[in-house]
A and B are shown apart, each in its own frame.
Chain A
Amino acid sequence: MTDRNDEKMAPENEGPNFEGAGLHGDEPTTQQDEASFERQAGPLLTRESKSQGRIVWEQFRRHKAALIGGWILVFMYLTAIFAGFLAPYGINEYRRSPAAAFRPPTQIHWTDPDTGKLTRPFVYDVVESRDPITRQRVYEDVTDTRYPIKFFVHRPSQPYKVLGLFKSDLHLFGVDDPARIFLWGSNNLGKDLFSRVLFGGQVSLTIGILAVWVAFFLGLLLGGIAGFYGGFVDDLIMRLVEVFAAIPGLFLLIVLSSLLRDPNNPLAKAFGLQMTSAQTFLLTVVVLGFVGWGGLARIIRSLILSARELDYAAAAKALGASETRVLWRHLLPSTASYVIVDLTLSIPGFILAETGLSFLGLGPSELDTASWGLLLRDATSRGISIQFVPWLLIPGIPILFAVLCWNLLGDGLRDAFDPKKRR
């Protein structure tokens, strides 16, 4: 909490990176030495010196787990971008009658039941009844008609936009009414969980990245200023960080997001906001970033405090560089490797925080978005016994994967930037 504490904690937690950041300063000199040495030694030892970026990339490529994590993330983000195309149904599409509530995942038939041979995959329509004793829902296939799964179907009633630009109504697959295809079952209103998980990724996967940028901006700005100018400004900013750190994060998040999303709150009134889904989304981003900037500011401050005393900063100053130039050209770039790693590793935290908020119903609103946390909320709503509708827990799996892969990616980057761990 005090300055002493910062200096004590920093090397302990971030030891390797700390040095990694400092290495940037030494880098040019070592390369120069190498170059002059090569000139003396002649062509025998000629070897192109690698740039820092190249070294990091080569190190990163050897990190199998991080690479796999990265590729899974690419896949997940692609499915989120093309959610409209991959999803057979719209985000809030459901049928009033006959309703298809709590349908288990639809069974896809690959073989002809009469001949037992492979056939075009098809599904049956399902009728629902209640078990007379247990009062549980029972589903039965109507085997009269087969509904083949069609690919590349146009559904004019369910248009979507890719990246908010390209409008289309082409869906990868679908079946004719009245049959429905629910790959991962349906919820209490008969909305398709598979489609909703795909659309939910658009919210849950982006919110972490956006919130990190908010936290990054605030942390870099305030941490940079505090570390560079010191004195009164430093004290003020660091006390502010302490104030934020003193209030338990979860409660602060809950209070802020529950108060701000009320359409009558003073801020919303001042800006004339109506709380649409997009705005609750942005609000969640800002609240997450606002609560999360403190740690980053503290770290950047201590990095800059130590970098300010290094020779190259003094040299730049001696050459007549202005304070702003020293800060922006020399000190902040020296924190880059650390910041990249730290940002990557804080994205999963923000994703978890968002799903938690959404789980409480305090994230982006349900109107025309879905979020994985919000979908998991369905599984605990009143009157639901999870053992009869286990598929409602499926949205937790992509959360797990997203967080896992971001962690793997971040660890890989950290090792790649760390000169101690070069392989």
Chain B
Amino acid sequence: MTPRVLPYLLSAPALLLFVGVVLIPIAMTVVLSFNDWSMTRGIIPEFTLKNWQEVFGDAYFYGIFFRTLRLALIVTLITAVFGAPEAYVLNRMRRPWKGLFLLIVLAPLLISVVARTLGWALLFGGQTGLINKSLLALGVIATPIPFMFTETGVIIALSHVLIPFMVLAVWTALQQLDPQVENAARSLGAAPALALYRVVLPQVMPGLLSGAIIVFALAASAFATPAIIGGRRLKVASTLAYDEFLNTLNWPLGGTVATLLLIALVAIIVGANRLIERRYAQVFQ
């Protein structure tokens, strides 16, 4: 066996699987998006731009895409604003508290997203809506806040589901930071807030931004949480594709929604990665 073919041989089994189960099916979905469909005849294998015209031309469809984008951006912002400080606080804790609380923050990542979202459905609505009950009892609000089937509810639940990724990303960046640098800033007379803003924040920025990309990507493609909290009334791109495929049975249109989601997401992630790498080139070297 010559060393030149060895790496190809070693990766061949996985490569075959990925060509067969990822590349070909996705290519077929792209082709599907250019097929016609009718209620009576099902999928009609003729080339048409009908689905794409519908997705871009109908306010119902592009409205759902804008909502998906908006929700993902807000969730990214919320996880950054609340997750980054938590990572900083965790990092300054002593053992064993540091390890214990890090475990508590990260553990939900491994718990079924359906179970976590069910928790929010219980906190939001019906006889168990603890949030509204408490706020009403405290006199903070006069009428219950609608959480179920609203963007507010989806944003809160999605932020909860995704915030561990942000804490993890910032935490990893903080591990590479020399605590003496912050102490040096303090000893030179910088107020704690100033040292945080001018010394710590710039150094964890690459971690924060890569966390933001991960959270954004996962929020934009989230399915179970918007499906349970948003319901049929508040659709996002993923739940729209689901409905077209399994309820309306218009696969070509569903395939178009999926293809557009994939293209938009890959373009945004690759673009954002480029920007970050250019801006923080010195950090990556």
Partners in one complex: no
Which A residues lie at the B interface, using CB under 8 A?
A: none
